[in-house]
Amino acid sequence: MADNSLQIERFIKRVRETDNIVFLGGAGVSTESGIPDFRSAKGLYSSGGPISPEEMLSHHFFIRHTDEFYDFYKKNMLYPDAQPNVTHKALARLEQMGKLKAVITQNIDNLHQAGGSRKVWELHGSVYRNYCMKCGKFFGLDYILKSEGVPVCDSCGGTIKPDVVLYEESLDGGVINGSVNAVMNAKMMIVGGTSLNVYPAAGLINYYEGHDLVLINRDATPYDSYADIVIHDSLGKVFGELMERLESEEK
Q: Which residues are catalytic?
A: 124
229-231 sheet: strands from edge to edge: 120-122, 100-105, 21-25, 188-192, 213-216, 229-231
For the four alpha carbons of 38, 44, 50 and 55, in that order, the dihedral sign comes to negative
- C-beta of residue 230 within 8 angstroms of C-beta of residue 198: no
Residues linked to residue 215 through DSSP beta bridges, in sequence order: 191, 230
- C-beta of residue 105 within 8 angstroms of C-beta of residue 80: no
Residue 120 three-state SS:
strand
Residue 26 half-sphere exposure, CB side, CA atoms within 13 Å?
A: 26
Measure the CA–CA gap between 9 and 251, rounded to whole angstroms.
Answer: 20
Q: Is 136 left (phi over 0), alpha (psi -120 to 50) or beta?
A: left
- C-beta of residue 39 within 8 angstroms of C-beta of residue 45: yes
H-run or E-run covering 10: helix 4-17
